[in-house]
Amino acid sequence: MEAVVLGDGGENHQAVLDALLSAGSDRTLADRDGITPLRHAELRGYDEMAARLRMED
């Protein structure tokens, strides 16, 4: 969640997201408004991050 919400969608934040996902982070964990990291990435236009969040391990 934080890699998307606090990031800028750039390469460094994509690398952080990759590391978090590789470590087993829950990609479906929503914020208090029910918005998932994937939806946050889509709303911000972070296409690469959204693609990574859609991928299954």
Domain ranges of the chain: 2-54
Q: 10-53, pLDDT tens digit by residue?
A: 999 999 999 999 999 999 999 999 999 999 999 999 999 999 99
Q: Provide the pLDDT for residue 25.
A: 93
Helices 47-54 + 37-44 axis angle, to 10? 150
- pLDDT at residue 56, as a whole number: 73
Fold of 2-54: 1.25.40
pLDDT for the residue 57: 52
